[in-house]
Chain A
Amino acid sequence: MTDIRSFEAPKEAGFGDFVQLLKPRVMSLVVFTAFVGLLVAPVHLHPVVGFTAILFIALGAGASGALNMWWDADIDAVMRRTKGRPVPSGLVQPGEALAIGLALSGISVVMLALATNLLAGLLLAFTIFFYAVVYSMWLKRSTPQNIVIGGAAGAFPPMIGWVAATGSISVEAGLMFMLIFMWTPPHFWALALFMNEDYSKAGVPMLTVTHGKKVTRNHVLGYTLALIPFAIGLGFTSIGGPVYLAISVLLNAEFLRGAYRIWTRDEVMAEADSYKVEKAVFRFSLLYLFLHFTALLIEAVLHGQGMGGW
């Protein structure tokens, strides 16, 4: 009797697979916004301290990404967009993702607190908790408002950067937080409009799944309108100025035009051109956020030269 069975050797993860666990693309946005938050603050840190702060804010964001991948491995395996991630593809074991997430969370919080101040460390700890527990464990599978509330996790990095430099929270830090917080819903709902099948298959109650695309289109326009005062209001604070204000007005006008076009379309029109407008608005939303923070950076440079500001 022959007993020949196919044997598949266990998969072995390389270093790059563990890096993927930290969601490097999300980390790049965190690094940029935290860097701007730190740089526009009125208190200047030593470059080594500033670098350490940014590094551990990014590592904290990566840790929360690893915890998210550990918790969401089952739904990641179903969604086309996420099934290649290290845990669902079998390269990294769920327990390893959990261990890395917890260890990096501890290291990043302690190191940020030691390098800068306790408030910055506590804010980072709260951000990790908010993303891994409040968003991933509580909200994501239970309410269509998941990304509205969960968006706070992505909005904290510039505030942490500011607090790392100044040691306190201010109007400027609050408005930078609100800019990302209010930007998140239209950004993700524009994505959900053309990736609906993925969320529906995984049973994630995105607004498109629970209330339909018409309601989602209304929400994209509504939240874009609510975002504008915060984006433009930031221009009137101590970190804003004419350059920021001019850029912000143009960006908001374009974003509003896109949201309005999404609102006026129906599914027949969207399917006819393969969601061309929705995809364009989603891409523009990324540019929108990037250019707002770049404008803050330009103002900070101008301030340093004795120009800019009000």
Chain B
Amino acid sequence: MAFRAPEHEIHRRRFSRNLGVGLALTCFVALVFALTVVKVTEGDLGHANDAPGMLGSTVPIAPEEPAPAPATSAVNP
């Protein structure tokens, strides 16, 4: 036969606090995930390193021009 000690008011309040913090953190994680998905799918990748010309940037300084055709040497060795 199991006996359950009557729950004290303090324990009930402590549980509500822990549950509240747990739920808030879970919601925060879910929100950051959703925000990341939206930012990535919308192509909003703007950050400092994406400024044109920055090291590691994915944005070119100017549109790439086709490489010039190899010049035929006028002077033969």
Q: Taking beta carbons and an 8 Å cutoff, which residues of A are in contact with B?
A: 9, 12-16, 18-19, 46, 48-49, 52, 55, 115
The 3 A-B pairs of least Cβ separation, nearest first, read A15-B20, A14-B13, A14-B16
Size bracket, chain B contacts: 10 to 19
Contact B17 A18 (CB under 8 A): yes
Q: Which residues of B contact A48 (CB under 8 A)?
A: 34-35, 38
Given contacts A15-B16, A16-B16, A55-B31, contact A49 B38 (CB under 8 A): yes
Q: Which residues of B contact A16 (CB under 8 A)?
A: 16
Contact B38 A14 (CB under 8 A): no
Q: Which residues of B contact A14 (CB under 8 A)?
A: 12-13, 16-17
Q: Which residues of B contact A55 (CB under 8 A)?
A: 31
Interface string of B45-65 (1 = CB under 8 A from A): 000000000000000000000
Task: Closest B residue to A55 by CB, please name it.
Answer: B31
Contact A12 B42 (CB under 8 A): no
Given contacts A9-B10, A46-B42, contact A15 B19 (CB under 8 A): yes
Task: Closest A residue to B21 by CB, please name it.
Answer: A15
Interface string of B11-48 (1 = CB under 8 A from A): 01110110111000000000100110011001000000
Contact A13 B13 (CB under 8 A): yes
Contact A49 B35 (CB under 8 A): yes
Main secondary structure of the interface of A (DSSP, over half): helix
Task: Closest A residue to B17 by CB, please name it.
Answer: A15
Q: Which residues of B contact A13 (CB under 8 A)?
A: 13, 17
For residue A303, give the distance in angstroms from its CB to the closest CB of chain B: 23
Determine the distance from Cα of A1 to Cα of B42 in the docked complex, in whole angstroms: 78
Q: Which residues of B contact A18 (CB under 8 A)?
A: 17, 20
- Select one of A9, A46, A52 contacting B31, CB under 8 A: A52
A-B contact pairs, 27 of them (CB 8 A): A9-B10, A12-B9, A12-B13, A12-B14, A13-B13, A13-B17, A14-B12, A14-B13, A14-B16, A14-B17, A15-B16, A15-B17, A15-B19, A15-B21, A16-B16, A18-B17, A19-B20, A46-B42, A48-B34, A48-B38, A49-B35, A49-B38, A49-B39, A52-B31, A52-B35, A55-B31, A115-B35
For residue B14, give the distance in angstroms from its CB to the closest CB of chain A: 6
Task: Closest B residue to A47 by CB, please name it.
Answer: B38
Determine the distance from Cα of A262 to Cα of B35 in the docked complex, in whole angstroms: 50
For residue B38, give the distance in angstroms from its CB to the closest CB of chain A: 5
Determine the distance from Cα of A49 to Cα of B37 in the docked complex, in whole angstroms: 11
Determine the distance from Cα of A55 to Cα of B32 in the docked complex, in whole angstroms: 12
Q: Which residues of B contact A12 (CB under 8 A)?
A: 9-10, 13-14
Determine the distance from Cα of A15 to Cα of B15 in the docked complex, in whole angstroms: 9
Task: Closest B residue to A115 by CB, please name it.
Answer: B35
Q: Which residues of A contact B31 (CB under 8 A)?
A: 52, 55
Determine the distance from Cα of A15 to Cα of B13 in the docked complex, in whole angstroms: 7
Determine the distance from Cα of A55 to Cα of B30 in the docked complex, in whole angstroms: 14
For residue B46, give the distance in angstroms from its CB to the closest CB of chain A: 10
For residue A197, give the distance in angstroms from its CB to the closest CB of chain B: 34
For residue A239, give the distance in angstroms from its CB to the closest CB of chain B: 25
Task: Closest A residue to B34 by CB, please name it.
Answer: A48
For residue B1, give the distance in angstroms from its CB to the closest CB of chain A: 30
Q: Which residues of B contact A19 (CB under 8 A)?
A: 20
For residue A101, give the distance in angstroms from its CB to the closest CB of chain B: 16
Task: Closest B residue to A49 by CB, please name it.
Answer: B38
Determine the distance from Cα of A31 to Cα of B34 in the docked complex, in whole angstroms: 21
